[in-house]
Amino acid sequence: MSSVFPQRIKKSRLVAALALVFPLILHAAPIPENAKIEVEFELPKIDTAMYARPYVAVWIEDANRKSVRTVELWVGKDEWLKDLRSWWRKVGRYDRELVDAVTSATRPAGEYRFVWDGLDDQGNRVEQGDYTFYAEVVREHGGRNYLRQKLQLSDTAFVHKIAPTEETGDVLISYKVR
């Protein structure tokens, strides 16, 4: 039994040493300085007597499902933020300053373009790796759509197209690296 105990101590020291060094080895490089995601986003014209402009949240999460950036937030009044259920549960209810910084008015039907510069909510460039694009679109007296698209951010450009839904037209996500 005495010969096993010293071996356990050696293993635990090795594990502790690796725990300190391993994150340094696995640390990914940031995405290129000029990398960005351009989003083309359509809100279709919906013919109904009770049409209301939709509330929209667009955000990016990392591979651990942690929000790294709220890219767009279109809501008329604070009381409606909770209607964007998925975004609210992940981000909105925890960070009032962020909500105030990114919120803008709802938008009418039409085509919109916006850009994510590759920075997180604290202004740091994100690391290369796996991410997910989310868009939540909710309309009073209307539908609710939750879109998501897996992304691999590196030094290689790509384009993803998300099919139209009841509340959205085509959504085009273009990762550009120049």
Higher per-residue pLDDT: 20 or 173: 173
Q: Examine the pLDDT at 30 and tell me if it is beyond 80.
A: yes
pLDDT of the residue at 148: 96
Pairing of the two strands 144-153 and 67-74: unpaired
User: E-assigned strands of the chain?
Assistant: 36-43, 55-62, 67-74, 103-104, 110-116, 129-138, 144-153, 158-162, 171-176
Q: Out of 2.60.120.650, 3.20.20.70, 1.10.15.40, 2.60.40.4070, select the CATH number for domain 36-176.
A: 2.60.40.4070
Mean pLDDT of 1-18: 56
What pLDDT score does 24 carry? 47
pLDDT-based confidence at 3, cuts 50/70/90?
low
- Interatomic CA distance for residues 107 and 76, integer angstroms: 9
Distance from C-alpha of 98 to C-alpha of 14, rounded to nearest angstrom? 42
Say which residue, 19 or 161, is predicted with more confidence: 161
Q: Is the pTM of this model over 0.75?
A: yes
